[in-house]
Every structure is written in C-alpha cells, then in structure tokens.
Amino acid sequence: MTRTFDIQQRHEIQHGEELETFSYNGKRFYIVCSSANSDLYNGFSPYHAKLQYIADDEDGNRYEVHVYYYTKFENGKRYAVVDAIRDFMDMEVV
C-alpha cells in the first residue's frame, strides 16, 4: 500500500477522545502518536479538527494516517473519519 485517499471510514467516538485503533484492508492499526506532517490533507475541509498520525499495523509496519473529527449536529454524536493512509517508507520526514 502506498497512498490511499478518500477512504472515508467513520468511527463513532466519545467527546474529548481521539481515535486509537481502526481496521482497514483486513489489518488492525494502532495510532502511536501525532505526526509533524500535514501533507495528507487533501484540500479544504470544513471539519472541526484534522490531524495526521503515525500508526502501526498488527505486523509492526508503520504508516501515516489522516483523520478528521466532527460532531453531527442532528444527534450530537462525535465521529472520527480515517480519510487517507500511506506507508511510512513513502513519507517525507519533516
């Protein structure tokens, strides 16, 4: 996997929390820390928070992940959306 954009995988989370783990393409990913990079943001986003993370999969491979967060007005629920992912080896380290 190199770069994958527009994943749009939504996860309901509690207010005040950030996404800690998610599954994609049959693998489990664990968010390790925030990234200093911001290049996976693909254009303007009206959402409240856009963050880029470093994540490890269950096999120990490292990735960079773009996640945005929003609260749904109609029901007040909070969501984290995995928007893009790429292999750590394809990253330009800042």
The 10s digit of each residue's pLDDT in 15-30 is 999 999 999 989 999 9
34 versus 6: the higher-pLDDT residue is 34
Residue 58 lies in a domain: yes
How confident is the model over 51-61, as pLDDT tens digits? Answer: 899 999 999 99
Residue 33 lies in a domain: yes
The residues facing 94 across adjacent strands are none
The CA distance from 56 to 26, in Å, is: 14
> What pLDDT band is residue 64 in, cutting at 50, 70 and 90?
very high
**Domains of the chain: total:** 1
Quote the domain boundaries for residue 41.
3-89
Q: How many C-beta atoms lie closer than 10 Å to residue 65's C-beta? A: 23
Query: Is 4 a residue whose pLDDT tops 60?
Result: yes
Through-space distance between the first and last CA atoms of the chain, rounded to whole angstroms? 21
Residue 7 lies in a domain: yes
Task: Give the least confident one: 28-32, 59-63, 65-69, 85-89.
Answer: 85-89
Burial degree of 88 (CB within 10 A; 0-12, 13-18, 19+): middle
Residue 84 lies in a domain: yes
